[in-house]
Amino acid sequence: MPTRPVPRREFLEKCITGGFLVGAAAVSQTRLFAAYNEAVQKAAKPTPPEVLGPFFKKGAPNQTNLRVAGEPGLPLAISGRILDARGEPVHDAKVELWHADHRGIYDVHGFRYRSKLALGNATQYRVETIMPGHYPSRPVQHVHYLITAPGCKPLITQLYFATDPYFDGDPDRNFAKGGVVANRECVRPVMLLDENTAPRTAVTFDLVLEKA
Amino acid sequence: MRTFFWSLVATGALVATASAATATDRTIPLEAAATDVAFAPDGRSLYVVTAGRNLLQFDVAAGRVERTYALDNDERRPGVQVAAGRFTTVTSAGALRLRELKNGNAVATFSVPVARARIGTVAAASDGSLLAIAGGDPAAASANIVHVVDRTGQPRFRFPAGIGAMAAMAFSPDGGTLVAASFDADIRIWDVRTGTLVHCLEEMPLAMFDLDFSRDGRLLATAGADQTIYLWDTKTWRIVRRLEGQPETVRRLRFSPDGTRLVSGGMSALDFEAPVKVILWDVASGRSLRTWETAHRVNALAFSSDGRQVAVADGSKQAKVWAVPN
């Protein structure tokens, strides 16, 4: 995210080319400058797309607790904000996510580890689930996402985990290994929590949508 | 074609042996996994294309490779479109190349505007007059498009095609309809004469991995992750029959030429190198008639023109020809 001060000349040029100087006579240049800098600093890079994958299933329930009683798996909380490219919160988003179980198997007969969250006025999402397993045909842990929201382009992406042994402890260097992961930004740090109970993990993954 | 090899010499390992199961069952060892197979119209030869950039012409009766054509180094994902006497490859620069089956000569190379120059699924009309080419939409990161072009690459139509990559496409036998199954689980049906979307079948919850028209065009078979084969009436676009019993994801399926039978091949979603079943079905009753096994997931299936043999290519380095029981 760029934070460098914008030179006054460059700022004015941007305002002129962007058409922002219409009616600006009554606004001081200082205020204009501050507004512009604020916008630049809030701006967010759109989340990069990844492939949908072959195991998307329509009709997933709107559920925030994806854990299944009695099924093994390291507990994982995933949360994040839904933003547009200006950094503004996006309302009425639908966040669909699905992943394999701890063995690496997708549920094609039911909806285990599948959810379609209808966020309404909320602009953040959170689910409680488990860390997905590895499977030989795609040996990296991942969670699939499909996000839609009014006025925004649909986004298909995936979340990966920096702790995944697949990255050999160095996701910066190894994220593209084998052509499985397209974007480093989708590999997120994992927080390991142990509050005198069983260990659990948490990941933050903001979703930044492009305007339609 | 830079190189032309006769028979077994250049590739070394291309010695074909007859398996013991029946007189006409064949196993064809390959230097790399086969990506597609197709019988020649006379049924004498089987064409096999491999990930190792070779096209083999295999004499089924004699049980030996007759010819091998080596593709160029920039070519990958070869697929056979035998009815039109041609096969297709995708170049590393993102172009589609058409080659003659009879001599391997390149007859056309052209590009279509898809995201990151990555061509996805390709289908050809049975007379070779049209090609459908799927890929990402350069203007929208998570959207896909299908280009329909003529045999020289001249564009006819450009269809928006949902949000998932295309799993499979097929032209109807009369060439008037294009059906595409997307990983977004929708099946889209276009009239390629008018360039309009005529149906979007949205009732499938999971993606269909393959589809095939019966030769008379009356039925469309689709199958995928839910291990069920669906037969659709192509007049009403309603499901008329379900064939159940494949123990894995159905990755490939093909109708027999007379439409009375269908063969399906599986894929373990967990491990592409796990053994899977190939099942011969009776279309009218929905019963399975014969089950074979392959070492890895099935990449391609083909019936001979008389329906008496079926060829299968899987992820292992061999292709097989099996006799179909009466």
CATH class of A75-209: mainly beta
For residue B164, give the nearest of A52, A104, A137 by CB distance: A52
Cβ-in-10-Å burial (0-12, 13-18, 19+) of A4 comes to: exposed
Q: Do B226 and A109 touch (CB under 8 A)?
A: yes
Can you give the pLDDT at residue A30? 75
Instruction: Using alpha carbons, list the distances in angstroms from residue B54 to A191, B48, B77.
Output: 49, 8, 11
Nearest chain A residue (CA) to B203 = A58
Can you give the pLDDT at residue B15? 36
More confident residue, B113 or A146: A146
Extract the tokens encoding B6: 């006769």
Is it the case that residue A17 has pLDDT exceeding 50?
no
Can you give the pLDDT at residue B83? 61
Angle between helices A8-17 and A29-42 (to 10 degrees): 80
Per-domain boundaries in chain A: 8-42, 75-209
pLDDT band at A15 (very low <50, low <70, confident <90, very high): very low
Is it the case that residue A21 has pLDDT exceeding 90?
no
Cβ neighbours of A197 (radius 10 Å)? 8
Can you give the pLDDT at residue B251? 96
Is it the case that residue A84 has pLDDT exceeding 80?
yes
Extract the tokens encoding B293: 């096994």
Render the burial of B285-296: b for 16+ CB within 10 Å, e for the rest: eeebeeebebeb
**Third-level CATH fold of B1-111:** Methylamine Dehydrogenase; Chain H (2.130.10)
Q: How many C-alpha atoms does B205 have within 13 Å on its Cβ side?
A: 14
For residue A155, give the nearest of B142, B202, B224 by CB distance: B142
Extract the tokens encoding B16: 């074909």
Name the β-bridge partners of B310.
B303, B322
Contact (Cβ atoms closer than 8 angstroms) between residue B146 and residue B159: yes
How remote is the C-alpha of B141 from its chain's centroid?
27
pLDDT in tens, chain B (326 residues): 333 322 232 333 333 433 334 456 899 999 999 999 999 888 889 999 998 999 999 999 898 999 999 999 988 877 876 667 888 889 988 899 999 888 889 999 999 988 887 888 999 998 889 999 999 888 877 789 999 999 889 999 999 999 889 999 999 999 999 999 999 999 999 999 999 999 999 999 999 999 999 999 999 999 999 999 999 999 999 999 999 999 999 999 999 999 999 999 999 988 888 999 999 999 999 999 999 999 999 999 999 999 999 999 999 999 999 999 98
Tell me the average pLDDT of chain A.
86
Can you give the pLDDT at residue B19? 39
Is A179 at the interface with chain B, CB within 8 A?
no
Task: Work out the minimum CA distance from B207 to partner chain A, whole angstroms.
Answer: 6
Which residues of A fall within a CB distance of 8 Å from B207?
54-56
pLDDT band at A10 (very low <50, low <70, confident <90, very high): low
Nearest in space to B89 (alpha carbons), one of B81, B102, B77: B77
Q: How many C-alpha atoms does A151 have within 13 Å on its Cβ side?
A: 9
Q: Do B206 and A56 touch (CB under 8 A)?
A: yes
Contact (Cβ atoms closer than 8 angstroms) between residue B45 and residue B66: yes
Can you give the pLDDT at residue B41? 85
Nearest in space to B17 (alpha carbons), one of B54, B62, B47: B62
Extract the tokens encoding A176: 């593209």
Can you give the pLDDT at residue B20? 37
Instruction: Report helix, strand or coil for A35.
Output: helix
Q: Do B271 and A53 touch (CB under 8 A)?
A: no
